A = this chain, B = another copy of it.
Amino acid sequence: MLEAKNNKILGFGEIMLRLTPSNNQRIMQVNSFDATYGGGEANVVCSLANFGHKTKYITKLPNNSLGDKVIRDLKSYNVDTSNILQGDGRLGIYFLEIGHGLRSTEVIYDRKYSAISMANKNEFNIEKMLEDVRLVHLSGITPALSKELYDLTIEIAKFAKNTGILVSLDSNYRAKLWSLESAKEFLEEILPYVDIAFLGNLDMVNILKYESKKIEYEESLKDLYEKLFKKYPNLKYAACTKRSVHSINNNSLKGYLFDKESLHVSNEYNFDILDRVGGGDAYTAGILHGILENLSSKETVEFGTCASVLKHSIKGDINLVDMGSVSSLIEEGLQNIKR
């Protein structure tokens, strides 16, 4: 367990109910759904709580048993929920048909009109939200939900920047929520306030419209990151992963971390998959952990990648592994049975 910290890591964003047919079945086959609760930013925060960090979460939930259930779940991870709002509106839902072999996983989003997406930004007291906070983690999903949330996200980032709180941002582009153009506008508006950016090759090429003439993947990525850091000298770190999809049940993953100077690359891991959702959030949490714990960039990218690899072995969106499990994978590799 880590030393107690004085400051908290704050996440802000939507939490949804995920409904999944069991055993890789299709919706038409089942008469029940597995139910878990998660969301990009919450997954990151809960994973950091599992690594021993002090955490806090802000969202708006419906004022009913479903909202209460989300709060209970967050509390069980030791996340401070005291500033979460409850009020009118619904809980966003998504249905996940997990594929198998060469059948793709399919998502049906039913997240419109959720309590948070219909909230007014004035319901949130930024100053109070950021009290005792050391790092705030934001993503490109929340601003895509409404104009109010767009503005609120920018304001949070600005306020944090001004008061010395670290800002982490995961691009997390969702084509169903907004256009590449809107995402570009958002990224360009927020990046001046960001310290740690989770942006990959495709984000820089497709959204930000950067170009690189390098052909080899890593050279190209480094080239793009250098352009990004040149434009936004406030950036301290940028990170992403490269995934190779052999089958829905088997992928390989490699992590990248750019620290203004070098592009650090993790080992590549091949692994079977139990649940792929939240793999990226687990990587984000691992990278933030390394940065906050002052690990070297090399150690940090390895930690992030192994954290993400382990997430793929956990059902649900949230990475239910502690720091020791990640370290053990890095240092000793796979152990058959830990008796």
Chain A positions within 8 Å of B, measured between CB atoms, are 19, 22-36, 64-66, 68-69, 72-73, 75-78, 90-91, 93, 95, 97, 99-110, 112-113, 174-176, 243, 245, 247-251, 269, 271-274, 276-277, 309-310, 312-316, 320-321, 325, 328-329, 334-339
- Closest B residue to A31 by beta carbon equals B35
Copies of this chain, count: 6
User: Contacts of A75 on B, CB cut-off 8 Å?
Assistant: 75-76, 78
User: Contacts of A337 on B, CB cut-off 8 Å?
Assistant: 104-107, 276-277
User: Contacts of A112 on B, CB cut-off 8 Å?
Assistant: 90, 113
Question: Whole-angstrom distance from the CB of A318 to the nearest CB of chain B?
Answer: 10
Q: Is the interface of A mostly helix, strand, loop or mixed?
A: mixed
- Closest B residue to A100 by beta carbon equals B313
User: Contacts of A274 on B, CB cut-off 8 Å?
Assistant: 23-24, 100-101
Instruction: List 22 A-B pairs, Cβ < 8 Å.
Output: A23-B315, A33-B33, A65-B106, A75-B75, A93-B93, A93-B110, A101-B271, A101-B273, A101-B310, A102-B271, A102-B313, A102-B334, A103-B325, A104-B338, A105-B338, A106-B337, A106-B338, A107-B337, A107-B338, A113-B113, A248-B334, A276-B337
- With A and B bound together, what is the CA distance between A316 and B30 in angstroms? 12
- Closest B residue to A30 by beta carbon equals B35
User: Contacts of A64 on B, CB cut-off 8 Å?
Assistant: 108
- Closest B residue to A272 by beta carbon equals B101
- Closest B residue to A78 by beta carbon equals B75
Question: Whole-angstrom distance from the CB of A293 to the nearest CB of chain B?
Answer: 21
- With A and B bound together, what is the CA distance between A313 and B98 in angstroms? 10
Question: Whole-angstrom distance from the CB of A103 to the nearest CB of chain B?
Answer: 4
- With A and B bound together, what is the CA distance between A65 and B243 in angstroms? 28
User: Contacts of A320 on B, CB cut-off 8 Å?
Assistant: 26, 28-29
User: Contacts of A110 on B, CB cut-off 8 Å?
Assistant: 90-91, 93
If A29-B315, A29-B316, A247-B334 are given as contacts, then 9 extra A-B residue pairs at C-beta distance below 8 Å, sorted by A number, are A26-B314, A64-B108, A90-B112, A100-B313, A105-B338, A107-B338, A243-B336, A248-B336, A249-B272
- Closest B residue to A28 by beta carbon equals B69
User: Contacts of A113 on B, CB cut-off 8 Å?
Assistant: 112-113
- With A and B bound together, what is the CA distance between A43 and B336 in angstroms? 20
User: Contacts of A247 on B, CB cut-off 8 Å?
Assistant: 271-272, 334
Contact flag A313-B35 (CB < 8 Å), given A103-B325, A321-B103: no
